[in-house]
Amino acid sequence: MATLTASKKPSQAILEEYCSSNSNTTSGTTSPSSLESPTAEIDKDPLAQQKGVQLPYPFLPTCLAKHDSHFIERRARQFPADLKLPLLPPESACAVIDAQDKDTPDSWVTRDSRLVRLTGKHPFNAEARIRDLYTAGFITPTNLFFVRNHGAVPKVDFERAEKWELKVHGLCANPTTFTLANLRTRFRVVTLPITLVCAGNRRKEQNVVAKSLGFSWGAGGVSTALFTGVYLADLLEYVRPTKGAKHVVFEGSDDLPNGPYGTSQLLSWARNKSKGMMLAWAMNGLPLEPDHGFPLRLVVPSQIGGRSVKWLARIELSPIESQHHLHFHDNKVLPTTLTAEQARAEKHWWYDPRYLIRELSVNSAIAYPNHDEILDTSLHAPGSTYALRGYAYAGGGRRITRVEITLDEGSSWRLAQITYFEDAFREVEEEDFGVDPIYGVLGTNEQGENCFCWSFWECEATMEELKGAGSIMVRAMDESLAVQPRDMYWNPTGMMNNWWFKVCIHDLGDGQLRFEHPTMAGTQPGGWMQRLKDQGLDPAYPRFAKGEDAKAPTVLEVSRPAALTIVMTNPDVKRTISREELESQEGKEKAWFVVNGEVYEGLGFLEKHPGGAPSIQLVAGEDATDDFLAIHSPAAKQQLADFHIGTLVSSPSSPPSTSEKETDDLGPGGTFLHAKKWKKIELIKLGVVSHNAKIFRFALDHDEQALGLPTGMHVYVRIRRRGEGEGEIVQRAYTPLSDAQNTKGFLDFLIKIYRPCPEFPLGGRMSVEFDRLVVGDEIEVKGPVGHFEWLGHRTAQIHGHSMPIDEIGFVCGGSGVTPILQVVRAIFNETSSEDAEIPDVWVLDVNRNVDDILCREDFERLDEVHGSGRLKMHHSLTGKDVPNDWKYSTGRPSEEMLRAHLPAPGENKLVCICGPTTMEQTVKTLLSKIGWDLEKQIVLF
Proportion of the chain above pLDDT 70, given as a percent:
84
pLDDT in tens, 721-761: 765 555 567 778 888 988 888 888 999 998 888 877 655 55
Q: pLDDT-derived band of residue 47, with 50, 70 and 90 as boundaries?
A: very low
pLDDT computed for residue 627 by the predictor: 67
3-class DSSP string for 23-52 = CCCCCCCCCHHHCCCCCHHHHHCHHHHHCC
Higher pLDDT, 548 or 639: 639
Residue 103 falls inside a structural domain: no
Which CATH number does the domain housing residue 732 bear? 2.40.30.10
Residue 174 known to be catalytic: no
Residue 222 falls inside a structural domain: yes
Question: Distance between CA 583 and CA 578 in Å, rounded?
Answer: 9
Which CATH number does the domain housing residue 212 bear? 3.90.420.10
| Residue at which a domain ends, from 727, 758, 786 | 786
DSSP state of 217: -
CA distances from 493 to 182, 506, 530 (A): 40, 32, 19
Question: Distance between CA 591 and CA 587 in Å, rounded?
Answer: 6
pLDDT computed for residue 95 by the predictor: 83
> Do 311 and 387 fall into the same domain?
no
Lowest mean pLDDT among 141-150, 522-531, 549-558, 580-589: 549-558
Q: How many CA atoms lie within 13 A of 510 on its CB side?
A: 2
pLDDT computed for residue 614 by the predictor: 60
> Do 845 and 856 fall into the same domain?
yes
Strand-pairing partners, residue 648, are: 577
> Do 631 and 771 fall into the same domain?
no
Residue 150 falls inside a structural domain: no
Question: Distance between CA 697 and CA 255 in Å, rounded?
Answer: 28
Residue 23 falls inside a structural domain: no
Exposed / middle / buried, residue 443 (Cβ in 10 Å: 0-12, 13-18, 19+): buried
Write down how long the chain is.
941
Positive or negative: CA dihedral 280, 286, 290, 291? negative
Q: How many CA atoms lie within 13 A of 772 on its CB side?
A: 20
Strand-pairing partners, residue 287, are: 282
Residue 893 falls inside a structural domain: yes
Which CATH number does the domain housing residue 637 bear? 3.10.120.10
| pLDDT value at 565 more than 60 | no
Residue 112 known to be catalytic: no
In the chain, how many domains are there? 5
Q: Which strands sit side by side in the sheet containing 693-699, from one edge to the other?
A: 729-734, 714-720, 778-785, 679-690, 693-699, 746-752
> Do 230 and 341 fall into the same domain?
yes
| Residue at which a domain ends, from 639, 655, 671 | 655
Whether 521 and 220 have beta carbons less than 8 Å apart is answered as yes
Give the mean model confidence (pLDDT) for residues 839-850. Answer: 89
Q: Which strands sit side by side in the sheet containing 400-406, from one edge to the other?
A: 374-376, 512-516, 501-509, 471-478, 400-406, 414-415
DSSP strand pairing (501-509 vs 455-462): unpaired
Q: How many CA atoms lie within 13 A of 511 on its CB side?
A: 9
Give the mean model confidence (pLDDT) for residues 232-245. Answer: 97
Is 198 annotated as a binding-site member?
yes
pLDDT in tens, 871-898: 888 999 988 888 888 999 998 888 899 9
Residue 12 falls inside a structural domain: no
- Give the mean pLDDT of the chain: 83
Q: Which residues contact 921 (CB under 8 A, 6 or more apart)?
A: none
Reduce the DSSP state of residue 115 to 3 states and report it: coil
Strand-pairing partners, residue 402, are: 477
Cis peptide before 123 (omega within 30 of 0): yes
- The full DSSP string for 275-331 is G--EEEEEETTEEPPGGGTTT-EEE-TTBBGGGS-SS--EEEEESS----HHHHSSS
pLDDT computed for residue 45 by the predictor: 36
φ, ψ of residue 169 to 5 degrees: the values are -150, -170
- Single-letter residue type at 95: A
| Residue at which a domain ends, from 494, 521, 555 | 555
> Do 531 and 637 fall into the same domain?
no
Q: How many CA atoms lie within 13 A of 251 on its CB side?
A: 22
Residue 348 falls inside a structural domain: yes
> Do 780 and 793 fall into the same domain?
no
| Structural domain containing residue 748 | 679-786
pLDDT in tens, 52-91: 455 555 677 877 765 554 444 566 778 888 889 998 888 8
Question: Distance between CA 914 and CA 903 in Å, rounded?
Answer: 17
Give the mean model confidence (pLDDT) for residues 502-521. Answer: 95
From the list 19, 94, 172, 198, the catalytic residue is 198
Nearest CA to 245 among 315, 330, 328? 315
Residue 483 falls inside a structural domain: yes
Nearest CA to 324 among 862, 902, 757? 757
Give the mean model confidence (pLDDT) for residues 324-348. Answer: 91
| pLDDT value at 689 more than 50 | yes
E-state strands within 158-221: 165-170, 176-179, 189-197
Question: Distance between CA 507 and CA 305 in Å, rounded?
Answer: 39
Strand-pairing partners, residue 513, are: 375, 507
- Single-letter residue type at 917: T
Question: Distance between CA 317 and CA 243 in Å, rounded?
Answer: 10
Cis peptide before 668 (omega within 30 of 0): no
Question: Distance between CA 380 and CA 663 in Å, rounded?
Answer: 81
Nearest CA to 425 among 450, 402, 392, 401? 450
Q: Which residues contact 85 (CB under 8 A, 6 or more apart)?
A: 79, 424, 425, 428
Question: Distance between CA 377 and CA 896 in Å, rounded?
Answer: 92
Which CATH number does the domain housing residue 424 bear? 2.60.40.650
Higher pLDDT, 930 or 862: 930
- The full DSSP string for 368-436 is ESPTT-EEEGGGS-TT-EEEEEEEEE-STTPPEEEEEEESSTTSS-EEPEEE-THHHHHTS-HHHH--B
pLDDT computed for residue 19 by the predictor: 35
Higher pLDDT, 553 or 107: 107
pLDDT computed for residue 619 by the predictor: 74
Question: Distance between CA 872 and CA 853 in Å, rounded?
Answer: 16
From the list 143, 207, 284, 331, the catalytic residue is 331
Give the mean model confidence (pLDDT) for residues 402-419. Answer: 97
φ, ψ of residue 682 to 5 degrees: the values are -105, 135
Question: Distance between CA 84 and CA 425 in Å, rounded?
Answer: 9
> Do 782 and 795 fall into the same domain?
no
Question: Distance between CA 720 and CA 124 in Å, rounded?
Answer: 26
Whether 70 and 56 have beta carbons less than 8 Å apart is answered as no
DSSP state of 172: B
> Do 753 and 883 fall into the same domain?
no
Residue 254 known to be catalytic: no
**Which alpha helices (DSSP H) does 618-715 contain, by range?**
625-631, 634-639
Whether 812 and 844 have beta carbons less than 8 Å apart is answered as yes
> Do 177 and 267 fall into the same domain?
yes
> Do 794 and 895 fall into the same domain?
yes
> Do 824 and 688 fall into the same domain?
no
From the list 106, 254, 330, 623, the catalytic residue is 330
Does this model's pTM top 0.85? My answer is no
> Do 276 and 236 fall into the same domain?
yes
Which CATH number does the domain housing residue 840 bear? 3.40.50.80
- The full DSSP string for 573-600 is ---EEEHHHHTSHHHHHTTEEEETTEEE
